[in-house]
Structure 1
Amino acid sequence: MDILQLAVVVGLILLLVKPLGTYVYHVFSNEPNRTDRLFGPFERFVYKLIGLKHRSGMSWKGYAISFIATNIVLVAIGYLILRLQAGLPLNPSGISAVEETLAFNTIISFVTNTNLQHYSGETGLSYFSQMAVITMMMFTSAATGFSVAIAFVRGITSRGTTIGNFFEDFVKAHTRIFLPLAFVITLLLAALQVPQTFDPTLTVKTLEGAVQQIAIGPVASLESIKHLGTNGGGFFGVNSAHPFENPNPLTNVIEIWSMWALPAALPYTFGLFAKNRKQGWVVFSAMMALFLVFLATAYLSEKAGNPVLNALGADASEGSMEGKEVRFGIAQSALFTTVTAAAATGTVNNMHDTLTPLGGLVPLAEMMLNVVFGGKGVGLVNMLMYAILAVFICGLMVGRTPELLGRKIEPREMKLIALVILVHPFIILAPTALALAVDSGNSAITNPGFHGISQVLYEYTSSAANNGSGFEGLADNTAFWNISTGLVMLFGRYISMIAMLAVAGSIARKRPVPETRGTFRTDNALFTGLLAGTVILIGALTFLPAIALGPVAEHLTLW
């Protein structure tokens, strides 16, 4: 039964890849299509409202400046709302203003599409903050990442010198992708008993006569974009493990499909832009192969149970159910864990701190690689970065100038890619070492030994990969953790995005070279294996020692 559940969810994603990827291509190809009649009038009104008279293509520098400036404005507005929420409307519970370092961490977290939460949503934020900051940022950060990914794809596939107009892409991502899909998902979730209301926190009496406070609010609308935008920040502190956010197995599957469908469809969109669908299927196949290995590892590890609990006489016949919801069980918990890390969403339906060591290694490793589908566009861009690296390595091995899609890969592109590859492990491992060395860092560890190392490593990996999930046993709402993870989230988001836009701009300016008999093909099964192998090789070289100190050592200790 477990295998059938997993197969059905994965199977439907496979069916959605082509139609959804085709739709995304039509949205951003800037060619006339049927969706123009439906969305065109509203988009023209938005363009007029923001003063966008000419939607001409931008250079990579213009595109980067545009999205950074937009994000800065959003950060300023969001920070002010969080600091002033006590006096703003839609605050029926009278929640006070957010503390300075926590407000900094929260606003950086949501503008970078990370959604790392050092606060508990139902008690830390008002309804107004949940909507005007959190939900708004979930739309805009997802649209930003989506736009940058499309610009990168244009740069490496087009024959022009520009990579598109950021503001046009940004508006289209909202009007044609996220808003309509979020509306539909909101209706589905509300119909399945997810709350959508402005009523204040309920005060009820239990059967024993005790008084209990039950938080509610506009949950369904946040849940929809939380997953569609691969955001992950929960309305409630326990995220999608909460029965109001995720009440039953059907809503669980809907949330899985919501966060996985668009990242899975983007490789096919890339193939359409490249005028070679096989190119898209190669990227998708490499991603799916890695995903299935991680899914099998998570499921089998949790199904095997915890030997320490078994030795204590606990009933583990169903596997390790510690930290999991009975309504989901092992299969849907393992699948949700694998998808949320693969899609860089960060939402959780079980507590990752209670996973078995190898089960906890799965989301950790996926975030370290950051290419297994990835968040809104980030996974595709990173995988294409590894594709360029694989072509470069193969070119050196056979003594040929490396080429991708008819463009030569030269030192400028490789320097930028090397920067991205080196920055990612640096902003994970250096802060991890610092946190373990100073009292303000290691005092947050709640589980000593190897698991404590995993807690710290997971927090910074999640921040750098803009994922947002955490080993929630870590006491991280302190000035040290708020500021350090906030900086890691900033570097993890913007250094890689700017560098990869520079790569796209550089490749876009190159003249195509004709294909010859000696051209290394990148649209076959051989390159799929080389691509996946390159990802694993680079990941192992950079992160294996740290993994050995954390989850691997803990696993060997338990068994």
Structure 2
Amino acid sequence: MNFNNLFQPGLFIVVLIALAIPLGRYMTAVVNGSSVVVRRIGRPIETALYKLAGVDPDAEMSWKHYALAVLVFNTLGVLAVYGFLRLQQWLPANPQGFGPMTPDAAFNTAVSFVTNTNWQDYTPESTVSYLTQMAALTVQNFFSAATGIAVVIALIRGFARHTAATIGNFWVDLTRITLYILAPLATVIALVLISQGVLQNFKSYVDVPTLQVTTYQTPKTDAQGNPVKDAKGNPVMVDNKADKQTIAMGPVASQEAIKMLGTNGGGFFNANSAHPYENPTPFANFVQMIAMLVIPAALCLVFGRMVGDKRQGYAVLAAMTIAFAVACWGEISSEQNGNPLYASLHVDQTASAAQTGGNMEGKETRFGIAQSGIFTVATTAASCGAVLNTHDSLTPMGGFVPLLLIELGEVIFGGVGSGLYGMLVFALLAVFVAGLMIGRTPEYIGKKIESYEMKMVSIAVLLTPLLVLVGASIGVLTAAGVAGVSNPGPHGFSEILYAYSSAANNNGSAFAGLSVNTPFYNNTLAIAMWFGRFGSIVPVLAIAGSLAAKKRISATAGTLPTHGPLFVVLLLGTVVLVGALTYVPALALGPVVEHLIMVAGH
């Protein structure tokens, strides 16, 4: 690790926390309705929307009604996106004349964007129209992010309230989060990206002359497409020249901003954040990395403020930051060390003034290993899934880090809302384990954690590994699953394991070496995405309802403090222990054995 590889992650973390503090204060005021923006500026818009939708903003919901509203709203979202994808050939704002997406691909994409996964197994710039990008995909980027934040706010209310039968109103939470948090921040970020050169237009694709003309030959064919042959039976060749390149246009910045801010992932272009029109400068790249994590970091502080003890939020934020820093160190050092097998080919991978060194395969050369490493960790620690470099080209341990981050439940900052409610589930598990050690009923923030809460915690913690491991098992045991593997062996297994881990944990990134645009993967991954998202949300809301109904008890001498260094260590240990016990056998068959093969010289 050189100075640059240490400095850049440190700078990133400092800027992230500095921005999260004021944002956390503002978000708290928005969700509790005390912000002047909510009380005065936005009141007419809110009132009109509630009247149009027939919503009573003063009527709060039980956890069951809240969960039902979440499920109904997102089911309608799947139907809407599916309709756009299947009917786009007849809709306006389609200057390229793109046809409909296949039924299985449309189903996968609709579920993907509604669940905040944005798993894209198609080429967006040659598949999806401008209207579909804006009215279907970008809109769901807002709504899926707002859903995640609304759920964690409902859970926080469960901790903050006592002897209450309700946990808020989903429609009010969804509206305020979208209007006052996501929309303004996305607008600012989009304008910043436009200033850096990110596209934002509605032009048709542009053909431009290339700097160099390339000539090549192809077989001549007749009107029926059959090859034409000469008298000797040899194919007749035709001279061709390539003197132009088609440049994709479109409303890129608006989708780029919310895909990062809402930890949605994906991209307007297939190359994603490595595309120069999506990510043109180092500053734009830094803004995108900050955008991925700033709301998840700020939500930790919202948690502390809403429960009346800021130290609780600081403790959770500290645990996330420590884990993030360790992951950055592991990722960057693995890639900077490179592949020892290249030494036998006399390839120098040492960093120097003349070269960056390390494993530059698949990296974005404009940004180097340090920023590529931070981006890789940020996008898999969060549930973003946007990529700056090809994960398939990472070293075995470099691929191990993002895969493990996803499989830990993406609670190291995590997705907007989902990261914090996932971490709070682990916090409940941590205090339960601590209670068993000392023989006391576990407590967290003044609420006793009893059998009902632990049953719901068990469902939330175990459901995703079940989806991942069963899905990966089916993938490696079926001909349709193995058919997509281009690199057999441990790496091919890692590709399948990564795909189901990414889908079930709603990340959306991929190793990129697995062909998944097939009916088998489109359908099985869509199922993993849906149940990975809402199979966790329902028990989390059940926990919120149970906690809200309980009285708040006073701390005693035997109460475990949950705001100090001891609890931070306990929380991190619980996260790592659960991940290790669940996924170590699978990881051993993939990146671990691949690393051992590499160091053995094979």
TM-score by length of 2: 0.91
Q: 1:32 to 1:321 in 2, by over 3 A?
A: closer
Residue number among 306, 313, 325 corresponding to 2:364 in the alignment: 325
Offset at 1:514?
2.4
User: Does residue 475 of structure 1 match 2:515?
Assistant: yes
Offset at 1:315?
4.3
User: Does residue 120 of structure 1 match 2:86?
Assistant: no
Matched position secondary structure for 1:517: coil
* Matches of 2:54 and 2:307, distance apart in 1: 32
Residue number among 12, 16, 23 corresponding to 2:19 in the alignment: 16
The one-character-per-residue Cα deviations of 1:100-156 (angstroms, maximum 9, x if unpaired) are 000000000000000001111101101111111111110111111111111111112
Offset at 1:18?
1.6
Task: Tell me which amino acid in the other structure corresponds to 1:194.
Answer: V
Q: How does 1:499-510 map to 2 (within 5 A)?
A: 499-510=539-550
1:237 is aligned to 270
CA RMSD of aligned residues (A): 1.1
Task: Tell me which amino acid in the other structure corresponds to 1:206.
Answer: T
2:171 is aligned to 167
* Matches of 2:126 and 2:6, distance apart in 1: 38
* Matches of 2:344 and 2:495, distance apart in 1: 25
1:492 is aligned to 532
Matched position secondary structure for 2:596: helix
User: Does residue 67 of structure 1 match 2:70?
Assistant: yes
Q: Contact conserved, 2:86 with 2:100, CA < 8 A, in 1?
A: yes
* Matches of 1:55 and 1:214, distance apart in 2: 51
Task: Tell me which amino acid in the other structure corresponds to 1:28.
Answer: V
The one-character-per-residue Cα deviations of 1:476-526 (angstroms, maximum 9, x if unpaired) are 100000000000000100010001100110111112222222222111111
Q: How does 1:85-104 map to 2 (within 5 A)?
A: 85-104=88-107
Q: Contact conserved, 2:5 with 2:332, CA < 8 A, in 1?
A: no
* Matches of 1:126 and 1:34, distance apart in 2: 35
2:479 is aligned to 439
Matched position secondary structure for 1:208: strand
* Matches of 2:198 and 2:81, distance apart in 1: 26
Gaps of 5+ in 2: 214-242, 351-356
Offset at 1:29?
1.6
1:224 is aligned to 257
Of residues 217-226 and 159-168 in structure 1, the stretch that sits farther from structure 2 once superposed is: 159-168
Of residues 376-385 and 10-19 in structure 1, the stretch that sits farther from structure 2 once superposed is: 10-19
Offset at 1:531?
0.6
Matched position secondary structure for 2:177: helix
Matched position secondary structure for 2:207: strand
2:340 is aligned to 307
The one-character-per-residue Cα deviations of 1:525-554 (angstroms, maximum 9, x if unpaired) are 111111111111111000011111101111
Q: 1:243 to 1:323 in 2, by over 3 A?
A: same
Offset at 1:248?
1.4
Residue number among 294, 300, 318 corresponding to 1:267 in the alignment: 300
Q: 1:505 to 1:307 in 2, by over 3 A?
A: same
Residue number among 376, 379, 387 corresponding to 2:419 in the alignment: 379
* Matches of 2:61 and 2:509, distance apart in 1: 35
* Matches of 1:8 and 1:49, distance apart in 2: 46
Offset at 1:177?
0.6
TM-score by length of 1: 0.98
* Matches of 2:286 and 2:551, distance apart in 1: 46
Matched position secondary structure for 2:246: strand
Task: Tell me which amino acid in the other structure corresponds to 2:423.
Answer: M
Offset at 1:307?
1.9
1:555 is aligned to 595
Of residues 253-262 and 512-521 in structure 1, the stretch that sits farther from structure 2 once superposed is: 512-521
2:32 is aligned to 29
Task: Tell me which amino acid in the other structure corresponds to 2:67.
Answer: A
Offset at 1:33?
3.9
2:182 is aligned to 178
2:319 is aligned to 286
2:157 is aligned to 154
Q: Contact conserved, 2:502 with 2:508, CA < 8 A, in 1?
A: yes
Q: 1:527 to 1:251 in 2, by over 3 A?
A: same
Q: Contact conserved, 2:362 with 2:394, CA < 8 A, in 1?
A: yes
Residue number among 329, 334, 337 corresponding to 2:373 in the alignment: 334
Aligned pair count reads: 559
Q: Contact conserved, 2:57 with 2:169, CA < 8 A, in 1?
A: no
1:249 is aligned to 282
The one-character-per-residue Cα deviations of 1:446-485 (angstroms, maximum 9, x if unpaired) are 1111111110000000001100000111111000000000
* Matches of 2:175 and 2:15, distance apart in 1: 29
Q: Contact conserved, 2:26 with 2:35, CA < 8 A, in 1?
A: no
* Matches of 1:96 and 1:316, distance apart in 2: 46
Offset at 1:211?
2.3
User: Does residue 524 of structure 1 match 2:527?
Assistant: no
Offset at 1:53?
3.0
* Matches of 1:325 and 1:534, distance apart in 2: 35
> Percent same amino acid at aligned positions?
46
User: Does residue 404 of structure 1 match 2:444?
Assistant: yes
The one-character-per-residue Cα deviations of 1:179-219 (angstroms, maximum 9, x if unpaired) are 10111111111111101010011112212232221111100
Offset at 1:170?
0.3
Task: Tell me which amino acid in the other structure corresponds to 1:43.
Answer: E
Task: Tell me which amino acid in the other structure corresponds to 2:319.
Answer: A
Of residues 399-408 and 1-10 in structure 1, the stretch that sits farther from structure 2 once superposed is: 1-10
* Matches of 1:85 and 1:248, distance apart in 2: 33
Matched position secondary structure for 1:190: helix
The one-character-per-residue Cα deviations of 1:328-375 (angstroms, maximum 9, x if unpaired) are 100000000000111110000111110111111111111111210110
Task: Tell me which amino acid in the other structure corresponds to 2:379.
Answer: T
Q: 1:32 to 1:161 in 2, by over 3 A?
A: farther
Task: Tell me which amino acid in the other structure corresponds to 2:440.
Answer: R
Of residues 345-354 and 70-79 in structure 1, the stretch that sits farther from structure 2 once superposed is: 70-79
Task: Tell me which amino acid in the other structure corresponds to 1:350.
Answer: N
Residue number among 382, 387, 403 corresponding to 1:343 in the alignment: 382
* Matches of 1:353 and 1:58, distance apart in 2: 45
Of residues 27-36 and 91-100 in structure 1, the stretch that sits farther from structure 2 once superposed is: 27-36
Matched position secondary structure for 1:206: strand
1:465 is aligned to 505
Matched position secondary structure for 1:475: coil
User: Does residue 134 of structure 1 match 2:173?
Assistant: no
Larger C-alpha radius of gyration, 1 or 2?
2
Offset at 1:396?
1.4
